[in-house]
Amino acid sequence: MSRIADFGYCFGKRVFSISKNLVMHIERRDFLSTLTMASAATLFSGNPLLASLAPKKEKLGIALVGLGYYSTDLLAPALQLTEKCYLAGIVTGTPEKAQTWKAKYKIPEKNIYNYQNFDKIADNPDIDIVYVVLPPSMHREFVVRAAKAGKHVFCEKPMAPSVADCEAMISACKTNKVKLAIGYRCQHDPNIQAYMKVAKEKKFGKVMMVNSAAGYLDNRTTHWKQNKKLGGGVMGDMGVYALQGARLATGEEPVSVTALASTTRPQIYNQVEETMMFMLDFPSGARAACQTSFGINMNHLQINYEKGWLKMEPHSGYSGNKGSMSDGTIINYPIQNQQAKQMDEDCLAIISGSELIAPGEEGLRDIRVVEAIYKSVETGKNVKI
């Protein structure tokens, strides 16, 4: 079929006609059954009217943007376990990496992009989702470019260095009618969901005090986490886990914060903080003492309620988290792979049109607090959020 300007199909008493890219009358199921997958992809791409008639995929193609440690060691292996998505493409600025990934994961040449030709991804029907796994300073640019290309977006945390960036990312995705999910793997973990449920149901009454900590010893010197211009600093990285522990434990958003930053290795952490301690106040009167560091190994959460307590350790580990409650309840739900569960559930939400567990607005809520934390460090005062 050389032209799609004026043609018709007759099946019994049904007549299908497409003239000048205008759908006059169509029965989608019968229409698609007459086309090969290749011709259907050609027909639907680039045409919003016809694209709305395309069948919903049962498995979505993901392109990873940025092939550092997280993509290489965690996301790509996880995509071998997923049921609702698969590794369809990659975006990298390193030709050698492109060839390695192409051979290892059998990625077609047409699904391999660099940062310059990235926008051509708009014409690739194999790719439904762009997963941005770049330094935070680059998140806004590539989320916006992906949204303009008509692709759904997954974005690693921290969502972006500023509230303004987050708002621009959310706006771009809404304008282009695509979904934006933040890579908060922990919120997909049933162990984390267990203590969120306790807060919601008020099993032990009101939350009184939360202690939340997340950190590890990072001796690197040239990673983005040590570079302010790239969005580095512990608060946006591990600090988000400590912050989320408090937010999810209370089920509330903090109203004020007092924070203190410190560095014990200025030869490494001379642009950004190595350690951050911050106290959060919540509307109900609950308070949270949070710690995060690139110099201290810590991963725990303790919640004290009116009538009991809940402890989690680890609280934000890759291989699952576990805990206990004052009534003897054990929290130890098995999970095969956090990243696979996260991507499968986000893809299912896209396919079914349901709500995402951690949409862009969730990332914005964290960065709004992070900005207030830095302001508190700068001024030495309690800052309203």
Instruction: Examine the residue annotation and report whether 241 is marked as an active-site residue of this protein.
Output: yes
What token pair was written down for 307? Answer: 């009538």
Q: What is the 8-class DSSP label of residue 14?
A: E
How many angstroms separate the CA atoms of 134 and 357, rounded?
22
Residue 34 pLDDT > 70: no
Q: List the end-to-end C-alpha distance of the chain, in Å, as a whole number.
A: 60
Shortest CA distance to 187 belongs to which of 326, 361, 353?
361
According to the model, what pLDDT value does residue 37 have?
A: 40
How many angstroms separate the CA atoms of 69 and 71, rounded?
6
**Model confidence pLDDT, tens digit, residues 69-78:** 999 999 999 9
How many angstroms separate the CA atoms of 173 and 381, rounded?
36
Residue 203 pLDDT > 60: yes
How many angstroms separate the CA atoms of 204 and 13, rounded?
66
According to the model, what pLDDT value does residue 209 have?
A: 98
How many angstroms separate the CA atoms of 76 and 333, rounded?
24
Where do the domains of the chain lie, and which CATH numbers do they carry? Answer: 6-51 (no CATH), 60-185 (3.40.50.720), 190-334+363-384 (3.30.360.10)
List the Cα angle 276/278/280 in 5-degree steps: 155
DSSP 240-294: HHHHHHHHHHHTS--SEEEEEEE-S-TTT-SSS-SEEEEEEE-TTS-EEEEEEES
According to the model, what pLDDT value does residue 57 have?
A: 84
Whole-prediction pTM value? 0.85
Write the CB contacts of 245 (distance below 8 Å, at least 6 apart in sequence).
Answer: 210, 212, 213, 214, 288, 290, 301, 312, 315, 316
- Would you call 105 exposed, middle or buried from its count of C-beta atoms within 10 A (0-12, 13-18, 19+)? middle
**Model confidence pLDDT, tens digit, residues 128-153:** 999 999 999 999 999 999 999 999 99
According to the model, what pLDDT value does residue 4 have?
A: 35
Q: How confident is the model at residue 54 (pLDDT cuts 50, 70, 90)?
A: low
**Model confidence pLDDT, tens digit, residues 280-310:** 999 999 999 999 999 999 999 999 999 999 9
Are the beta carbons of 348 and 364 closer than 8 angstroms? no
- Would you call 356 exposed, middle or buried from its count of C-beta atoms within 10 A (0-12, 13-18, 19+)? buried
Residue with tokens 């007092």: 258
User: Pick the catalytic residue: 113, 184, 195, 241?
Assistant: 241
Judging by DSSP bridges, how do beta strands 14-19 and 22-25 pair with one another?
A: antiparallel
Residue-averaged pLDDT of the chain: 89
More confident call, 46 vs 93: 93
What percent helix, strand, coil does the chain show, rounded to 5? 35, 25, 35
User: Pick the catalytic residue: 157, 179, 311, 341?
Assistant: 157
Instruction: Examine the residue annotation and report whether 105 is marked as an active-site residue of this protein.
Output: no
According to the model, what pLDDT value does residue 287 have?
A: 98
Judging by DSSP bridges, how do beta strands 112-113 and 85-91 pair with one another?
A: parallel
Residue 48 pLDDT > 70: no
Please give the single-letter amino acid code of residue 135.
P
% residues pLDDT > 70 (the chain): 86
According to the model, what pLDDT value does residue 55 have?
A: 63
Q: How confident is the model at residue 56 (pLDDT cuts 50, 70, 90)?
A: confident
According to the model, what pLDDT value does residue 15 have?
A: 34
According to the model, what pLDDT value does residue 322 have?
A: 96
